Amino acid sequence: MTDDRKSPTRRVALGSMSAVAASAFLAACGSRSNATATPSTAAASDSTGAGGTSAAPSTAMSGGASTAAGGGGGGKTAKIGVIAPFNGPLSAVGVGLQYAVALAIKEANAAGTIKGWTLVLDAQSDDGKVPTAQNAATGIAADPDIVAVVGTLNSSTAEVVQPILAKSDIVMISPSNTNPTLTQGASWVTSKKRPFPNYFRVCTTDAIQGPFAAQYVFQTLGIKSAATINDTLTYGKGLTATFQTEFTKLGGKITKATTITPGDTNFSSTVTQVKATQPGLVYYGGQYPEAGPLSKQMGQGGLDIPLMGGDGIFDPLYIKLGGRPKDACTSVGAPIESLASGKSFIAAYKAGNYPQPYGSYGGYAFDAANAIIKALAATLPSAASAKDARAAIVKAVQGISFAGVGGPVAFDQYGDATNKTLTVYTDKGGVWGTTKTGSFSG
């Protein structure tokens, strides 16, 4: 999922904040909802969808040690960091992700999972931007109490965070990075080589997502021609490239391959260029802030064909910003509400009264946090300090295997998720509805 967007890093250790202070911070940062309002909506906005109806910010729960909800396991403290956007157009996703990690930490502390230790959440906003992410990672790496990081949301921010955390042996598990190069190297198509042993992800990659979409378009929809548009960033470029490769392999024709710039709002010239080539569908690589208006302007410009994208547009804001009926997207995993483990997570999240729904990546953030917590349970009790345990934590995560919210959680030799499930969603009356769940066969 997703890419780089441009503010000083905002940091908060939720374990040391009161519930009111934590919710006030998050209200300033932004919100996430599967029925989200505009990107500028405060965290208190009432909404439904993934995660249920939002509670008032004053009921926010911190995930850390000093809260009565957790109790904790002892006198030592270890921090789990989160690096994600809590400001800017992608804050809608980042805030829900953060709360899901807070829930995992709260549950671990309440159960005394890490003997002799209490966990605290330390969240830093990267605003979805590379320089801010770099600053966040540098600050985290310098903190001796940090044992692991959940993040990043964006593939391009991950590229700068990976090497910083690797130097300090800090494990990093992303709930949403999908670009293949992060785990398999720049030459992954011909020669896979893992760049960083500390990096893992619980979602599948665009090496699967793009071809899965191509097969759906060509074989299920019967559309034989498509134009591709991407936002020039790591995620968008990579996703459209893998779609195009598989689509042409199947016999499809790419009528036009073009780009837009993140932050653009007027796509009339792009629509005109694409329309002239008469494609049957537009496949978009990028995120919902641009994709929604692009789809709307396609309709206004007489390009009355579906727009399809990846997990970067799987957000209710895509539809609110201009998505049209028959538009489609893919996202990682099966819908968590369809899984027994997912239903348990949803119930626990609702009971936690978090101010915003967990969003499209909350379940995967919860799984990432629990993979970390299981590794900590095996390593921290015998460690002299959090910093001393870091290398052992990385090794322990590599061998993790458990039933997670989004399905089985385990990692292959590259740090990639062994679960390759994906789901196609379509715009059904103004909401994303499940159309097909499966995996790429090719």
Residue 296 in tokens = 């709307």
195 and 62 share a domain? Answer: yes
Is 41 inside any structural domain?
yes
pLDDT by residue (tens digit) across 21-68? 343 333 333 322 333 333 333 332 222 234 333 232 222 333 333 232
pLDDT at 251: 98
Residue listed under structure tokens 């995967």: 364
343 and 324 share a domain? Answer: no
40 and 185 share a domain? Answer: yes
Is 290 inside any structural domain?
yes
439 φ/ψ sector (left φ>0, alpha ψ -120 to 50, else beta):
beta
pTM recorded for the entire structure: 0.83
Residue 123 in tokens = 């969240």
343 and 272 share a domain? Answer: no
Residue 401 in tokens = 């295997």
pLDDT band per the 50, 70, 90 thresholds, residue 76: very high
Contact 420, 439 (CB under 8 A): yes
| CA proximity to 375, closest of 92, 180, 171, 212 | 171
Beta strands in 103-224 (DSSP E): 117-125, 146-151, 171-174, 199-201
pLDDT at 73: 56
CATH of the domain at 271: 3.40.50.2300
* DSSP at 411: B
The total number of structural domains that make up the chain = 2
Q: Which residues contact 61 (CB under 8 A, 6 or more apart)?
A: 19, 22, 67, 69, 102, 103, 106, 352, 353, 354
For helices 206-215 and 234-249, the axis angle rounded to 10 degrees is 40
pLDDT by residue (tens digit) across 159-192? 999 999 999 999 999 999 999 999 999 999 999 9
Average confidence (pLDDT) over 320-345: 94
Is 1 inside any structural domain?
no
Average confidence (pLDDT) over 257-284: 97
How far apart are alpha carbons 44 and 22 in whole angstroms? Answer: 13
241 and 321 share a domain? Answer: yes
Is 4 inside any structural domain?
no
CB count within 10 Å of CB 259 equals 16
Q: For residue 325, give its domain range.
A: 206-332+422-438
Residue listed under structure tokens 């790429």: 440
